[in-house]
Amino acid sequence: MLQQLFSPSLLHALDLVGIFVFAISGALLAVRKNLDVFGIAVLAEATALGGGLFRDVVIGAVPPAAFTDLGYFVTPLLAVALVFFLHPHVERIQNAVNFFDAAGLGLFCVVGTAKAYDYGLSATASACLGLVTAVGGGVVRDVLANEVPSLLRWDRDLYAVPAMVGATMVALCIHFDALNAFTSSLAVVTAFVLRLLALRYHWRAPRAWQRRSTVREEE
């Protein structure tokens, strides 16, 4: 199915762009945590490849692409080099990083869903793995950095929800036999735009109804 939606060369190029941007977010967090160059590399690789590795292991696509294509491993290291030497400048273009991160989120949730379905999973299970593909690396990054994962925190702009919407759109298209290049691109764009709107207007998921917790809220 993936081959029908995207050409192999285009899919590979988009994959590498998404991996690069995700790696930058991991490397920047490592710098903020005052980690050394090895720590920066670990967080960058984990952020960039974590979601895809988990998906591939679950669906039996082994060895995962990250271990068979050198580009998947080297691309995060390029992001490490960029952040290591130029992190003050990279921090100043955070809006651009967020833009490409949102694009990677949209692409990965769609590609992850379609790939899972190609390996025999149901549409619902495929959507779940599409979500994991898009956000799993960020969860691994935050856990390694000893932080509550961003997608679980109420004070962070919506991240998982746009990916859920994109993956669900793909799953519905699969169910109704309507998945093609146009509908998959529409799912990518929808997740991408939702994430940008969440960043622009600080959309956040609601907390528990009539919440009365006395726990101190994190800044």
- Give the CA angle between residues 104, 134, 114 to the nearest 5°: 95
* Cα–Cα distance measured from residue 158 to residue 151, given in angstroms and rounded to the nearest whole number: 7
Could you give the C-alpha distances from 59 to 103, 110, 133, 197, in angstroms and in order?
Answer: 24, 16, 12, 32
Q: Maximum CA pair distance of the chain?
A: 53
> How much is the pLDDT for 14?
84
* Nearest one of 168, 55, 185 to 112, comparing CA atoms: 55
* Cα–Cα distance measured from residue 151 to residue 29, given in angstroms and rounded to the nearest whole number: 15
* Cα–Cα distance measured from residue 6 to residue 12, given in angstroms and rounded to the nearest whole number: 9
pTM equals: 0.90
Per-residue pLDDT of the chain (219 residues; tens, 9 = 90+): 676 777 888 888 888 989 999 999 999 999 999 999 999 999 999 999 999 999 999 999 999 988 999 999 999 999 999 999 998 888 788 888 899 899 999 999 999 999 999 999 999 999 999 999 999 999 999 999 999 999 898 889 999 999 999 999 999 999 999 999 899 999 999 999 999 999 999 999 888 887 765 555 554
Q: How many CB atoms lie within 10 A of CB 143?
A: 13
Environment class of 125 (CB within 10 Å of its CB; exposed 0-12, middle 13-18, buried 19+): middle
> How much is the pLDDT for 1?
67
CB 59 within 8 A of CB 129: yes
Give rounded-to-5 percent helix, strand, coil for the chain.
75, 0, 25
* Cα–Cα distance measured from residue 202 to residue 36, given in angstroms and rounded to the nearest whole number: 32
| b (16+ CB within 10 A) / e for 172-204 | ebbeeeebeeebbebbbebbbebbbebbeeeee
* Cα–Cα distance measured from residue 191 to residue 169, given in angstroms and rounded to the nearest whole number: 10
